[in-house]
Structure 1
Amino acid sequence: MTHLSVTHPLPLERLQLNSEFDGTFGSNRNSGNGLLINAQNDLEALNSWLEEFKDSPQTYRNYRKEIERLLLWSLLVLNKPFSSLNRDDLRAYEQFLASPTPAAQWCGPRRPRHSKEWRPFLGPLSETSRHQALVVIGAAFGYLSDAGYLLGNPVKLLRRKRAKSTNNNTVERFLEQELWSHVWSFIEELPEKSLREREHKARIRFLFHLLYLLGPRVSEVANLQMSDFRETRGKWWCYILGKGNKREKVPVNNSMLLALIDYRRFLDLSDLPTADEHTPVLRSLKGNRGVSSNMIYRIVKKLFNQTADSLEIQKREQAFKLRKASTHWMRHTAMTHLADIGVDLHHLRQTARHNDINTTSRYLHADEERWHKSVGKHKI
C-alpha cells in the first residue's frame, strides 16, 4: 500500500511504499556512483543508519522515533519522499513539532507499536525537544550524505539557535549524593527471605556497583563478560567494549572488586574470573544466560520507581526527580561524583572513555558551588 491509503501514521516497520514515495526518484538522491551502503530506497537507507545504534537500545529507540516522525510527516503532509526534503521543508517541520495537527491523527497516549491506536506523538514538543529532534535528523542526513545516498544535508542550511539552557551546559541528569544514598539504602534493605528474593537482591547490588563504580553505558553492561575483568601488574581493570567497537580499560577499585567476588560467590563461582571465562557478567535469574540491555533498563527503572515510592511523602521533589531517572543517569552520577571528590579531569575523561575532554568537563560542578557561595555573600 502507499502512504496515501493510510488514515493514521504507521510505525516504520509497517510502511510499504511504491516507487513514487519510497525515494527512488527523490530530488536529493545521488544518482551517481559511490554508494557506500546497501540501500535502494529511503526506508532501507534510514534502517542502515539506525542499525549503527542497535547495540544501544535506548539511543536506537530515540533515533527511530525522530526519523519516523519526519518520514511520516513528509509522506502524509507534504506528499513527498524523505529524500526530496529540503531546507524549507525542515523549517516547516520544526513548526509542526510545536503543534502536531490534526491532533487526533498525530497525537495519543502511549500504545504498543502494533496497536491501531499508536501515534507518533504524545503531544506538542518543547523548544528543547524540537532542538534535539533537529540534531538527530541532522545526524541522519549527514550519515546518508556521507554514505553517498543523498546529495547533501539540508539541516546544515538551517540557522540553528542553541536550546535555552540555565545550566551552563553542565550535566543535570544525575543523582545528587543524598539521593544516591537513598537509592543505595533502598537496595540494601531489599528483602531476602526467599531464594528468589536473594537472587534478585544479589543481582541488583552487583548491577548498581557496576553502574556507579565503572560508569558504563547500558549496552556495555549487557555485553560485559567475566573475562573482561583482568589483573595487570597487581591491579584489576575492566576492559569495556564501547562506542566504535573499541575496547578500553577502566580501573576496578577495591569496592568494585569485592562486589565482583561477592556476586561470583553467590553464583557458586571462584572468587575471581579467569582469562578464558567468556560468560556474561550479569546473569538472568533463570540460569547462566546474560541479561539484555532492555531488561537492564527496566530493572533500573523499576528500582528507581520503588525508591521514589518510599520517598514520596517526606521527600516529594527527590521522588519526582527519581521517577524521571534512567540507566544513563547512573553513568552521569558516577562521573559527577568522581569529579566532586577531585578526580583529575584527564583521569575522569579516561574513565568516561570520552574522545573530547570538553564532553567530560560537563561533569565539573565545583565552579557552580563556588559561584553560588560567592553570590551568597551579597546581602541586603
Structure 2
Amino acid sequence: MQATALTGRAPAAFPVPVQAKNDARLIALWLHGKGGLTRKAYARDVAAFLAFAAKPVHAVTLGDVQAWIDALVVSGLKRSSQGVKLAVVKSLLSFAHKLGYCAFNTGAAARAPKGKADLNARILSEAEVFELFAQAKGRDRTLLRFLYATGARCAEASGLTWADFNEDGKGGVTVSVWGKGEKLRHISIPAKIWGEVRALRRDGDGPASPVFRSRQGGPVSRSQIWRIVRTAAAKAGTGRDVSPHWLRHACASHALDRGAPIHVVQSSLGHSSLATTTAYCHARPGVGVGHFLGV
C-alpha cells in the first residue's frame, strides 16, 4: 500500500515517528519560539511542578496537578500568580497530549480555586500615583512617570534603547516596546514625559544605548525597578505591597475612567483579549467615565 497524491497518507505499516523520547526534549519543543523571558519563567514553573510531582510528565495524574494547586494555595501565593503557574503546567500537558507523548490531557480538568477578585485592591488612585512621583528624583522619578504614562511592563522598560523612540516631526512621539510573546506594539507618549526621558540621554549615547541606566552604565534591571517602586511606595506611606505592575494597572484604569476608548487602551497595553482590558471597568464600577496621560 502506497501513499496517494490525493490523501498524502503514509502507509499504515509505517509507524508515527516519536516526537520526544524524554521530558527534556518535550519541554524544549514546547518552549520553542517563545521569548527569552517567557522561556525562563515557563521552564522554572514546570521544573517546580515536576519536582513536586516527583514523576515524569507521561505519568502525571489529575490528582498530582490538584495536589500541587493546593500546595500553592497553602504557600500563600497570590491567586493571580497561582492561575499563571497553573496555566503554564496545563499548557505543557496539553502540548504533550497533542504530540502523543501522553495518552490523555491530564490537566484539562484542573481548575484554579475560585476567590474574590482582587484587581481593585491593586489599583492606586491618581493621588497615590502622584505621591509616588513626589518621593523619587531624577532617573527614578522619570522611570515611575514613564511606567504610569505608557503602561509598560517592568521588563519592557528595562530593555528600552534610544532607537525605540520615534519623533514624527510634528511634536508627536511614540515608543516601540517588545511585549509578551515577542509582540511589538507602539505607544504614544505625552510631550512632557518625552522631555523628561530625553533629558536622561548622555553625550555619546547611540541608538543602542539603554534609556534607563544603572549606576554601572548598563540597563537598569527588573529587580532595580522593583526596588525603585517599593522604595517610593514606602516613603509615600501607601501601606500596600506595591509592585511596578501596579502602575500598569493604574494606567489602564485611569485611562478608562477619563474616557479613553477601550480598544485604544487594549492596543496600548498589548492585551491579546479585550476581556482583560474590560476587567478594569468591572474593578472600579461607579467611577465616572470621562482622556488620560496628563501626567
Q: Is 1:175 aligned with 2:124?
A: yes
Q: Is 1:209 aligned with 2:191?
A: no
2:47 aligned residue: 68
Q: Is 1:350 aligned with 2:275?
A: no
Q: TM-score by structure 1 length?
A: 0.61
Instruction: Note the C-alpha offset of 1:74.
Output: 2.0
Q: Do the aligned partners of 1:171 and 1:362 also contact (CA within 8 Å) in 2?
A: no
Q: Is 1:185 aligned with 2:134?
A: yes
Q: Do the aligned partners of 2:150 and 2:251 also contact (CA within 8 Å) in 1?
A: yes
Within 1, Cα distance between the matches of 2:175 and 2:189?
6
Within 2, Cα distance between the matches of 1:131 and 1:252?
32
Q: Is 1:255 aligned with 2:192?
A: yes
Name the SS of the counterpart of 1:325 in structure 2. Answer: coil
Instruction: Note the C-alpha offset of 1:278.
Output: 2.9
Within 1, Cα distance between the matches of 2:207 and 2:80?
45
Q: Is 1:302 aligned with 2:227?
A: yes
Alignment of 1:68-147 (within 5 A): 68-75=47-54, 80-95=55-70, 97=72, 123=75, 133-146=85-98
Amino acid at match of 2:152: P
When residues 97 and 360 of structure 1 are mapped into structure 2, their CA distance, relative to the original with a 3 A threshold, is closer
Within 2, Cα distance between the matches of 1:238 and 1:304?
22
Alignment of 1:42-53 (within 5 A): 42-46=23-27, 49=30, 52=34
When residues 181 and 365 of structure 1 are mapped into structure 2, their CA distance, relative to the original with a 3 A threshold, is farther
Name the SS of the counterpart of 1:238 in structure 2. Answer: strand
When residues 32 and 150 of structure 1 are mapped into structure 2, their CA distance, relative to the original with a 3 A threshold, is farther
Amino acid at match of 1:54: G
1:24 aligned residue: none
Q: Is 1:283 aligned with 2:213?
A: yes
When residues 126 and 248 of structure 1 are mapped into structure 2, their CA distance, relative to the original with a 3 A threshold, is closer
Q: Tell which has more relative contact order, 1 or 2 (C-alpha 8 A, sep 6+).
A: 2
Amino acid at match of 2:37: D
When residues 357 and 125 of structure 1 are mapped into structure 2, their CA distance, relative to the original with a 3 A threshold, is closer
Within 2, Cα distance between the matches of 1:146 and 1:337?
42
When residues 82 and 208 of structure 1 are mapped into structure 2, their CA distance, relative to the original with a 3 A threshold, is same
Instruction: Note the C-alpha offset of 1:222.
Output: 2.7
Q: Do the aligned partners of 1:74 and 1:82 also contact (CA within 8 Å) in 2?
A: no
When residues 280 and 151 of structure 1 are mapped into structure 2, their CA distance, relative to the original with a 3 A threshold, is farther
Q: Is 1:363 aligned with 2:280?
A: yes
Specify every segment of 5 or more residues in structure 2 that has no aligned partner in the other structure, as ranges: 1-14, 289-295
Within 1, Cα distance between the matches of 2:23 and 2:248?
35
1:241 aligned residue: 178
Within 2, Cα distance between the matches of 1:129 and 1:69?
14
Share of identical aligned residues, percent? 23
Name the SS of the counterpart of 1:72 in structure 2. Answer: helix
Instruction: Note the C-alpha offset of 1:250.
Output: 1.0
Instruction: Note the C-alpha offset of 1:251.
Output: 0.6
RMSD of aligned C-alpha atoms?
Answer: 3.3
Q: Do the aligned partners of 1:239 and 1:249 also contact (CA within 8 Å) in 2?
A: yes
Within 1, Cα distance between the matches of 2:78 and 2:270?
31
Instruction: Note the C-alpha offset of 1:128.
Output: 6.8
Instruction: Note the C-alpha offset of 1:129.
Output: 6.2
Q: Do the aligned partners of 1:171 and 1:332 also contact (CA within 8 Å) in 2?
A: no
Q: Is 1:224 aligned with 2:160?
A: yes
Instruction: Note the C-alpha offset of 1:331.
Output: 1.6
Q: Do the aligned partners of 1:239 and 1:250 also contact (CA within 8 Å) in 2?
A: yes
Within 2, Cα distance between the matches of 1:127 and 1:348?
25
Amino acid at match of 1:331: R
Q: Deviations over 1:293-315 (max 9, x none)?
A: xx2x322332333334435xxx5
